[in-house]
Amino acid sequence: MRYIGPLLKFEIDYQGLYMKRTHLLIAVLFVFGCSPAEPPAPESTTAAPTAELGWDKGGMATAANPHAVAAAIEMLEKGGHAVDAAIAAHAVLGLVEPQSSGIGGGGFMLVYERQGGELTFHEGREVAPAGATIDMFMRDGVVMEFMEAWQSGKAVGVPGAVALYKSAHEQHGKLPWKDVFEPAIRLATEGFEVSPRLADYLPRMAQFSQLAKNPATAAYFYPGGEPLKAGDLLKNPEYAATLTRIAEEGISAFYEGEIAEAIAAAAQAEPNGGTLTAADIAAYKPEVRPVICGPFRALSICTSSPPSSGGAQIMIAGLYDHLSADATSQSDKVAAFVDAQRLAYADRDHYFGDPDEIDIPLDDLLDPVYLKHRATERFAPGAVPTPGDPGLVFDDESAAALWGTDTTEEAAGTTHLSIIDSEGNAVSMTATVEAPFGSSRWAAGFLLNNEMTDFARAVPTDGSRLANAITPGRRPRSSMSPSMIFDDGGDLVMVTGSPGGNSIPAYVSKTIVGVLDWGMSAQAAVDYPNIVARGETVRVEIGVEPGKDIASDLSERGYKVQESEGENSGLHIIVVDPDGLDGAADKRREGIVSVPASD
């Protein structure tokens, strides 16, 4: 069924899982005056009206490491598309920030083509091997502890990042394929200075992971038995060789032959070897999935569909709009933001998974009618949040009974970058190896993911099914949710996203609400204390002002508050202002904002 959004139209068929009702379409058409007679957009994209005026704001890149930003800017200065810059930046991040992402993992890329106004969601999520089983993290009826599962070969899924690169570059890239790898190859060959953040991780990782024990990672990160230190010159000729082969031979060099065999061998190695094979790797295909959009006042939030959790951004913003209607102070608005998260997370946790494998009532969950009703179910501060049932709202068969209580845990080994090029095209890309340094397993110069722990590891004893259960060939649910905001004239307003595991929806929503409702600049919104309200506990970052005041106020209101000295966000956002671009890099990491020299 075709859905006409506030400013963007797109096809959502999604194998019959979405948009079963017409009342959402009618409601949106009534409110925003769009005509259902417009021709449908291509299935893979969301089409927006092309802005009448030319783009005069230049380009910008923001990411978690200066080397990555420099690579992006190099591509932009060569006349590259935002996608060219994003691939170059991420290939560098896999080298200089291996704790967060790399070509041994996966990612999501949301791309905006200003000419023609098309949005495309390129999905490169990791895939469970053919030999995976629903109980592979269970032993004698007891779930394996996360630490043990994380460091096992069972945790390694088929990497999707390189295929994602190719999918996006074929559709959007302007520069030659080999050019986008040049900065990373050069840096891996010549060496780079180890950053303080990478160096700080290594002594801690040696205490509770296999990073200092696995021969390849021990030699690379702990030369001579000592962890690398900030300022050390680090070279990675293996990585340079791998990227060179990908640049010259295409992605078959990665998904077939020696590199694929090395990945499989590392995943199968003891202890706790997994089932990943070279055949699993060769079978990998990236996806182009629907973009989902939802209204926030006169704006549209457009984001990635499942297995992403982008829909949570739409839900949180829509719920916040209702819950904050009577707010008379910033404290009231923060409380409304907390309760919007509690409601949205309960639904996200219950329903979201791989859309190719399960029925997700996403059209219902994002329907403004449901969100208005769901806001009336605001939990008391001391209550334990529970999922809503959109099926009851629409007088359909109950949807809540489909799935059992979610048991998924997500770690925070992820990165995000935001880029706008000189023509106004944009990329919001979030990528991951899951937990820090992934599985600590190494192949051909890079770390392998532990993405299978993003599935629900515990199998319910009551026989209930889980939306995010382990199944061969399935993609695990992800909290990653690269997002963009558009105004009612079709113009780009904001590019946002963050790492942070299960906290990603909260982190990203903070920037959306902060900029668009609280009147903050891009940097002020990123700097504002992170507030994460998933479940019965509200976690508040008190190391950032006014975090202590927020924590105190929420405690007085009756919330169970957990004070946090630091949050692992990595928000990198760009806001389009009338006077130009306002970018921000998260000070909790090592990122910067930069623009091409010509701008």
- Domain boundaries, position 244: 64-107+116-286+419-454
Give CA–CA dist 96/139, Å, rounded: 37
Q: Is the pLDDT of residue 63 over 50?
A: yes
Q: Is residue 187 included in any domain, yes or no? A: yes
> Per 3-state DSSP, what percentage of the chain is helix, strand, and coil (rounded to 5)?
35, 20, 45
Q: Is the pLDDT of residue 163 over 50?
A: yes
**Would you state the pLDDT for residue 358?**
79
Q: Is the pLDDT of residue 62 over 60?
A: yes
* Site of tokens 């719920």: 319
Instruction: Say if residue 259 is in the same domain as residue 152.
Output: yes
Q: Is residue 599 included in any domain, yes or no? A: no
For the chain, give the percent of residues with pLDDT over 90. 76
Q: Is the pLDDT of residue 68 over 60?
A: yes
Structure tokens at 449: 């993911």
Please name the residues in contact with 357: beta carbons below 8 A apart, sequence gap of 6 or more. 471, 474
Q: Is residue 47 included in any domain, yes or no? A: no
Instruction: Say if residue 306 is in the same domain as residue 382.
Output: yes
Mean predicted lDDT score pLDDT of the chain: 88
Instruction: Say if residue 491 is in the same domain as residue 543.
Output: yes
Q: Is the pLDDT of residue 27 over 50?
A: no
Q: What's the pLDDT band for 53 if we cut at 50, 70, 90?
A: low
Quick: pLDDT tens for 85-141: 999 999 999 999 999 999 999 999 999 999 999 999 999 999 999 999 999 988 888
Quick: pLDDT tens for 477-534: 888 999 999 999 999 999 999 999 899 999 999 999 999 999 999 999 999 999 999 9
**Would you state the pLDDT for residue 354?**
79
Residue 519: how many other CB atoms lie within 10 Å? 9
More confident residue, 361 or 242: 242
Beta bridge partners of 427: 111, 419
Instruction: Say if residue 125 is in the same domain as residue 5.
Output: no
Q: Is residue 471 included in any domain, yes or no? A: no
**Would you state the pLDDT for residue 403?**
41
Instruction: Say if residue 370 is in the same domain as residue 437.
Output: no
| Segments in 138-277 forming alpha helices (H) | 146-150, 161-172, 182-190, 196-208, 215-221, 237-249, 252-255, 258-268
| Segments in 258-329 forming alpha helices (H) | 258-268, 278-282, 311-323
Give CA–CA dist 421/79, Å, rounded: 9
Q: Residues 326-351: what's their mean pLDDT?
A: 96
Q: Is the pLDDT of residue 5 over 50?
A: no
* Site of tokens 């929420």: 554
Instruction: Say if residue 231 is in the same domain as residue 367.
Output: no
3-state secondary structure at position 526? helix
Q: Is residue 71 included in any domain, yes or no? A: yes
Instruction: Say if residue 134 is in the same domain as residue 234.
Output: yes
Do 445 and 98 meet the contact criterion of CB atoms below 8 Å apart? no
**Would you state the pLDDT for residue 35?**
26
Span of 44-48, 149-153, 195-199, 518-522 with lowest mean pLDDT: 44-48
Instruction: Say if residue 368 is in the same domain as residue 424.
Output: no
**Would you state the pLDDT for residue 125?**
96
Instruction: Say if residue 90 is in the same domain as residue 209.
Output: yes
**Which member of 45, 244, 414, 453 is catalytic?**
414
Quick: pLDDT tens for 171-222: 999 999 999 999 999 999 999 999 999 999 999 999 989 999 999 999 999 9
Q: Residues 406-419: what's their mean pLDDT?
A: 69
* Site of tokens 């209580």: 405
Q: Is the pLDDT of residue 536 over 60?
A: yes
Do 492 and 324 meet the contact criterion of CB atoms below 8 Å apart? no
Number of domains in the chain: 3
Q: Is the pLDDT of residue 355 over 90?
A: no
- The full length of the chain comes to 599
**Would you state the pLDDT for residue 474?**
92
Q: Is the pLDDT of residue 408 over 90?
A: no
This prediction's pTM:
0.89
Instruction: Say if residue 507 is in the same domain as residue 568.
Output: yes
Give CA–CA dist 428/419, Å, rounded: 7
Q: What's the pLDDT band for 396 if we cut at 50, 70, 90?
A: low
Q: Is residue 56 included in any domain, yes or no? A: no
Give CA–CA dist 249/394, Å, rounded: 53
Q: Is the pLDDT of residue 34 over 90?
A: no
Instruction: Say if residue 302 is in the same domain as residue 262.
Output: no
Concerning whether 22 is annotated as a catalytic residue, the answer is: no
Kindly report the CATH number assigned to the domain that includes residue 529: 1.10.246.130
Instruction: Say if residue 305 is in the same domain as residue 332.
Output: yes
Please name the residues in contact with 152: beta carbons below 8 A apart, sequence gap of 6 or more. 144, 271, 272, 273, 274, 439, 450
More confident residue, 288 or 44: 288
Quick: pLDDT tens for 226-274: 999 999 999 999 999 999 999 999 999 999 999 999 999 999 999 899 9
Beta bridge partners of 110: 121, 428
Q: Is the pLDDT of residue 568 over 70?
A: yes
Smallest Cα–Cα separation from 589: which of 537, 531, 526, 547? 526
More confident residue, 25 or 273: 273
Q: Is residue 598 included in any domain, yes or no? A: no
**Would you state the pLDDT for residue 421?**
98
Q: What's the pLDDT band for 16 if we cut at 50, 70, 90?
A: very low
Q: Is residue 499 included in any domain, yes or no? A: yes
